[in-house]
């Protein structure tokens, strides 16, 4: 009898602590980041969407930062965690680099509001680790280190409107970065699957590339041969 009570008591305690752990892990305590870059040639040539260039005009043919997103190990992610009041003045010293590396191409142009949006939606959820300045700096520093276009062109994969095997694209990026990427495709107006977003995973400090604990599947899945549009 006593034995039974003890085990029930233990079970209840165990369940309570699991609940507490689960709650804590939902409360901004993320596990890793996706560092997401996009190919504008595909963003600007996708079915049913338009892109608008920033006031500085059409950028050069490069991948640009799309997002830096805290994630949970199970592939879900926190968002809009609040409490991280965005202070635009803090980004002044890196504004030129942000304009170049993390531009927005939505229509109408939202310009700097893209950064406010990214901070509010994603950055606030990793603020236990990276404050506003550190968050944007971490993304810029990753952009320097993860050169997708270089990785691809070194493997003979060029933005020339040709189709390339998805496998070769992934392999080229893995060879250059040391880690497997998550490649997301969209479709152009002819319905052709094309390379749009390339993500690598980054440890919780936002500094070190890691193998992705989870690679989401879904509408962004690529065909086995994908187009690399010119831009």
Ligand X SMILES: *[C@@H]1O[C@H](CO)[C@@H](O)[C@H](O)[C@H]1NC(C)=O
How many residues of this chain interact with ligand X, rule: CB under 6 A?
5
Q: Which residue number, 10 or 203, has a Cβ lying nearer to ligand X?
A: 203
Residue 203 in the binding site for ligand X (CB under 6 A): yes
The CB-of-32 to ligand X minimum distance in angstroms stands at: 9
The nearer residue to ligand X, 204 or 225, going by C-beta atoms, is 204
Q: Which two tokens stand for residue 30?
A: 């993320």
Query: Rule CB under 6 A: is residue 207 a binding residue for ligand X?
Result: yes
Q: Nearer Cβ to ligand X, position 109 or 177?
A: 177
Q: Shortest distance, CB of residue 144 to ligand X, whole angstroms?
A: 16
Stretch touching ligand X by CB under 6 A, among 73-81, 105-113, 157-165, 197-205: 197-205
User: Does 208 contact ligand X by CB under 6 A?
Assistant: yes
């Amino acid at each position: 009898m006593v034995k039974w009570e003890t085990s029930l008591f233990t079970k209840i305690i165990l369940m309570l602590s699991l609940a507490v752990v689960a709650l804590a892990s939902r409360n901004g305590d993320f596990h890793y980041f996706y560092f997401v870059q996009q190919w504008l040639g595909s963003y600007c040539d996708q079915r049913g969407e338009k892109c608008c260039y920033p006031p500085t005009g059409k950028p050069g043919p490069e991948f640009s930062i799309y997002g830096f997103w805290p994630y949970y190990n199970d592939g879900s992610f926190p968002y809009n965690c609040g409490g991280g009041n965005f202070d635009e003045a803090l980004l002044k010293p890196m504004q030129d680099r942000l304009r170049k590396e993390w531009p927005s191409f939505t229509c109408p142009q939202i310009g700097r509001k893209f950064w406010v949006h990214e901070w509010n939606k994603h950055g606030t959820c990793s603020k236990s680790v990276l404050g506003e300045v550190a968050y944007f700096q971490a993304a810029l520093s990753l952009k320097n280190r993860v050169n997708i276009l270089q990785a691809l062109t070194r493997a003979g994969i060029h933005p020339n409107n040709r189709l390339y095997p998805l496998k070769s694209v992934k392999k080229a990026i893995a060879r250059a970065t040391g880690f497997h990427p998550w490649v997301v495709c969209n479709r152009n107006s002819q319905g052709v699957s094309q390379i749009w977003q390339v993500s690598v995973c980054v440890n919780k400090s936002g500094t070190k590339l890691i193998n992705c604990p989870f690679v989401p599947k879904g509408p962004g899945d690529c065909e086995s041969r994908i187009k690399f549009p010119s831009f």
